[in-house]
Amino acid sequence: MLRRFVQYWVGKAVARPLHRKFAAFEAACQDPQRTQEGLLRSIVDFHRDTDFGKDHGFDTIRTVDDYRRQVPVGPYERLEPYIRRPRRGG
Residue 69 vs residues 27, 53, 83: alpha-carbon distances, Å: 30, 13, 21
Angstrom distance (rounded) from CA 81 to CA 75: 12
Please indicate, yes or no, whether the overall pTM of this predicted structure exceeds 0.85. no
Angstrom distance (rounded) from CA 7 to CA 38: 39
Write the pLDDT tens digit of every residue in 20-44.
Answer: 888 999 999 999 999 999 999 999 9
> Residue 89 is which amino acid?
G
Report, as ranges of residue numbers, the positions in the chain whose pLDDT lies below 50: none
* 75 DSSP assignment: -
